[in-house]
């Protein structure tokens, strides 16, 4: 019974962290403090009491509406909370009670924040990626899966590869293509997953981005002029590598033998 209690506890902690990520997603692009003031309804400015701010439960209890003004609350909030809980549980089940669990979860939490900010505002905040690069590099010393040399090569491969792509695109088309935020994000990712993880991330991100781009274009009149943020797909690729990357790479090379 105790293992189940631990898993439930970790899931609940993840839900609470997901609630905090919602605050970051809303406030960081507006350059607002993520510590104070307390959360409030964006429509009527009513401060949200603690019993209306319980992850998942409050949204379901209030039927997705503000208690006072009855304005609909975006389903984004419980989705992010649920992702926070599921990833916390998933990382724990894969790595157990280990320092790697904490490092990978904090990293995934940062990627979730980046993903939803990029979807909403088409920006990847430097306040996450710039300090994230040295922090992730320092954290790599505690990860058994990579060495500090792999992490350093991952930073160079991540930032360098996208910088080269962006430079070549700008040189050929005379237009700005990939933003600097994506370059810094992939450098941060490289510090955690190493150079092998960078190429895996780029492959998965490119594949997922292409499929999503075609799907969106089919539903839009803008066609090829439609801009699709790449940050969420880089995040998907990095998270996929953490959970399945090594196994998939080994499987692929075994097929080639």
Confidence of residue 212 (pLDDT cuts 50, 70, 90): confident
Span 87-124, pLDDT tens digits: 999 999 999 999 999 999 999 999 999 999 999 999 99
Mean pLDDT of 34-47: 84
- Final residue of a structural domain among 97, 115, 146: 97
Domain that holds residue 78: 1-97
Q: Is residue 112 part of a domain?
A: no
Shared-domain flag, residues 209 and 253 = yes
- Tell me what pLDDT residue 20 has: 96
How many C-beta atoms lie closer than 10 Å to residue 10's C-beta? Answer: 20
The yes-or-no verdict on residue 174 having pLDDT over 70 is no
DSSP tag of 147 = -
Shared-domain flag, residues 87 and 138 = no
Take residue 190 and report the two structure tokens written for it.
């490289």
Does residue 25 contact residue 113 with C-beta atoms inside 8 Å?
Answer: yes
Does residue 27 contact residue 34 with C-beta atoms inside 8 Å?
Answer: yes
Question: What distance in Å separates the CA atoms of residue 231 and residue 176, rounded to the nearest whole number?
Answer: 16
Span 12-30, pLDDT tens digits: 999 999 999 999 999 999 8
Which is higher by pLDDT, 106 or 50? 106
Give the predicted TM-score (pTM) of the model.
Answer: 0.90
- Tell me what pLDDT residue 163 has: 77
Mean pLDDT of 49-65: 91
- Tell me what pLDDT residue 167 has: 67
The yes-or-no verdict on residue 176 having pLDDT over 70 is no
The yes-or-no verdict on residue 175 having pLDDT over 90 is no
Shared-domain flag, residues 129 and 23 = no
Q: Is residue 184 part of a domain?
A: yes
The yes-or-no verdict on residue 233 having pLDDT over 80 is yes
Which is higher by pLDDT, 152 or 45? 152
Which helix (H) or strand (E) segment is 153 a member of?
Answer: helix 148-173
Q: Is residue 148 part of a domain?
A: yes
What are the distances in angstroms from CA 145 to CA 2, 141, 158?
28, 10, 18
The proportion of the chain whose per-residue pLDDT surpasses 90, expressed as a percent, equals 62
Instruction: Return the ∠ at Cα 39 (arms to 107 and 114), rounded to 5°.
Output: 25
Shared-domain flag, residues 162 and 247 = yes
Q: At what angle do helices 148-173 and 180-218 cross, to 10 degrees?
A: 60
């Amino acid at each position: 019974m105790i293992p189940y209690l631990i898993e439930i506890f970790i899931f609940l902690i993840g839900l609470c962290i997901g609630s905090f990520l919602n605050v970051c997603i809303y406030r960081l692009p507006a350059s607002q403090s993520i510590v104070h003031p307390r959360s409030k309804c964006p429509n009527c400015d009513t401060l949200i009491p603690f019993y209306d701010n319980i992850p998942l439960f409050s949204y379901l209890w209030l039927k997705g509406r503000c208690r006072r003004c009855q304005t609909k609350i975006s389903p984004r909030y419980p989705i992010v909370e649920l992702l926070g809980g599921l990833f916390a549980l998933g990382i724990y089940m894969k790595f157990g009670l280990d320092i790697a669990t904490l490092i990978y979860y904090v990293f995934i939490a940062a990627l979730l924040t980046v993903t939803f900010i990029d979807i909403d505002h088409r920006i990847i905040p430097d306040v996450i990626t710039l300090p994230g690069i040295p922090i992730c590099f320092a954290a790599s010393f505690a990860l058994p899966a990579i060495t500090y040399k792999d992490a350093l090569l991952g930073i160079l491969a991540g930032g360098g590869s996208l910088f080269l792509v962006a430079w070549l695109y700008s040189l050929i088309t005379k237009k700005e293509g990939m933003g600097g935020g994506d370059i810094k994000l992939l450098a941060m990712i490289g510090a955690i997953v190493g150079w092998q993880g960078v190429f895996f991330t780029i492959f998965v991100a490119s594949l997922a981005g292409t499929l999503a781009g075609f799907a969106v274009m089919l539903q839009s009149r803008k066609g090829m002029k439609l801009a699709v943020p790449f940050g969420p797909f880089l995040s998907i690729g990095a998270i996929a590598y953490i959970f399945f990357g090594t196994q998939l790479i080994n499987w692929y090379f075994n097929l080639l033998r």
